[in-house]
Structure 1
Amino acid sequence: MQKGNTKDLDNLCGVDPLVKIFLDLISFDTKSDPESKQVPSTVGQLRFGAYLLSCINDLGYKAKQDGNGVITLKIEASKGCESAKSLCLLAHMDTAPDCSGANIRPRLVKNYQGNGIELDNGLVLNDDICKELRNFTGDDIIITDGNTLLGADDKAGISCILHLLHNLKINDSIKHGPLTVVFSVDEEIGLSTTHLDVKAIDCDYGVTVDGTALGELDVATFNAYGAIVNIKGLSVHTAVAYKTMKNAISIANEFMAMLPSYETPETTQGDEGFFHVHNIEGSSSMCKLKMIIRDFTHPGMEKRLQLLTRISELLNEKYGKGTVSVKTTFQYANMGDVLKEHKDFLNLLRKSYKDAKVSVIENKVRGGTDGSNLSNQGLPTPNIFTGALNCHGPYECLPVGAFNKSYEVLKHIVMNMAKKSNKKEK
């Protein structure tokens, strides 16, 4: 069992500029807040954005931060690459609300031996927690002290883009077409793309740098809906409840029991969709269920939504009209339906992975990315890996080699796009 330390991490910062950038960025607490009515949801994102704005402009660029905290930078093409297709690079500033992002104290495990890692507070990170960890024996790995998340989601993505911006200024051999950089807010609470304007971005393609394990290329996502189920009961004294009381909590349990028990997040994998009730609140007189519905296909999603309607109809027949009501809300659509129409771009990404000496693992995300909505709004946007593992909690870690490979892939995407003429694909 190994432990991390700060001395080795400090030494690494002296020779690895990408890691140095990352450590600077995670000193900012940018945890988003799903209960907030402000935009962005936390002031930490505004403060972080101001810092990023200063960093970018110090490099000689002219970035802007809008009223929502979103940072945008437009970069003209290299000489001779003006006719290349335009590319938008995106990453998000907020960290997940699942775990504290304040006072992050990173450590480095050098030359991981494969026998697990003990964090400062006694938690143990091993293959049982993260099966991918076994792939990084012999690598250096950045970890937490066990009390916070690490913030690699998505400050690792921002680090790669900042490092690229620096290198574009000092290395003329990195040719590029027209570029736009966007650092968004509140991605972790599903609001980031509501603050982005695809027309203003005005690019042919986009790439989010927000994936996880080494080699992943996210080319499809779920279709996603949310649902709120409201249940009206009839509360009377228990002494006279016989054949009179309608317990809303019991009816809620009945509703959940009518959902397929084998179609939940914990019982599905791969291409399988699910229903997930993630919150229940109320009393015997009034109860509310909050749930998400996921499916990779549009016909599959339609069947799931029809099932919710049918369940509510059956319960209303049993308990009376108006007892159960279901309101569904569209969240995002599968970006794969859009990306499959852009084979040339996907082939360019595959070539970029190969150029960076990374084996590509094309992935259907059992979730969503900013690319889900952006792609369906007219900006085809797949997602590339950062190398981070176990995001959103104290077991989050970042293998250094994979992190640097993310940068290399990003660099090659930009260079290969410079060769892609701005003509319509056949």
Structure 2
Amino acid sequence: MAKYEMFTSIDIGSYHLKGIVMRRKGDTWELLAYSSVRSRGIDGGEIKDAVAFKESLNRLLEELSEQTPKVMNSDFVISLSSFEFGIVNISNELVLSDEGEKIHVAPEHVDRLKEISIEKLSEDDGRMVFHIYPKRFLIDGRRMVFNPIDMSATKLEGEFIVVVLPYSVGEMYRNSLMDVFEFEPTFSASPVASAEGVLSEMEKDSGVVVLNLGHNFSSFIAYQNGVPIKVVSIPLGIKHVIKDVASILGTSMDEAERLLMTHGNAQYMDIEDEEVEYRGLDGRSVRSVGKKKLATIIHARLREILNKARRIYRELEISIPDFRDVGIPGGLVLTGGGAKIPRLIDLAADVFKAPVRTGSYSTSSNPPVVGSEDISADPSFSAAFGSIFCMAKNPYQPSTQKSSSFVKKILDFFRSLW
């Protein structure tokens, strides 16, 4: 009888914690449990109240455990959301032979070159590495290649793209999570996890941008040649849309959120101006607003967010030679909870003048997951799904037995597909 393995993915956002539990048996993936709870103790991607944060995390784990047993015995991966994620390019060299004799480049040589790069980056800049991707290699200072394995060389140089977070922020999360799990889980960066959870391999190779519309801020990540090339955080999110609704209509944040989720629309020009009721700040008085006015409030802030993202998008088109004449082939993919606002695609297409689609796990080229119909098309779960599968391109993890085991299992699965 084939052995199965369990994986639990938790996406830590400023507004919600989302979790999924999946089982892999051979080549088949199955969703066993999922849940979403309001996060507490987090603001702007940083832990402000460790006690409240751990309470909300434990609540999520309890809800997952109610759906399937032995959750805590599974392999964990945690995606972190932070305004301070970034990308750096780093190069280093490894001398393979001091005597000038050419030797075959082996996987362990490439791994050692990565380790040297990570060690240097951590020591010099105080940044924690979350993902590292090989960009190109140079054989004996002359020949440029993308994969040096089995080639002969005396010296190997490598250029890597590294997704990093300031060490202080990463350590803050690590310490809090260790109190809950009593072991160090595998970590991923939420912008990367979200992208890996919604994109196809063709999109990542040819060029594409993912805009994750989060609660406190939005994340912009671009791919080309299969790897991320730019990560930028935009200091505006759905919270700012809700604040505008609450301020203009004179209501609470909770009621403004309800109006956004129930009656909201990103476009206002051609909708029926039907009146909807809501409660005032006192919680008792009943007021009303036309759907067109509500949509106008929502539209203004969403357009501001998209305009900021468009500037980054245009800068990318200008700076990358392959994009200058034809644009970014994959266009823009919207994901995250904010991507569910009706007609956001229409607004984004008008702003970007480029192809736009909504991204969810069901739109990716990752393996199908049995029993995931309820959430695979939900863009708010993109990072939870993507965290598991982005490990196939995340060779670096802290050297704990639990983390190493997780990465090895995922890598073995994808190698079996390739």
What is the TM-score of this pair, normalised by structure 2?
Answer: 0.28
More strand by share: 2
Which is greater in Rg? 1
More helix by share: 2
Which structure is higher in RCO with an 8 Å CA cutoff and minimum separation 6?
1
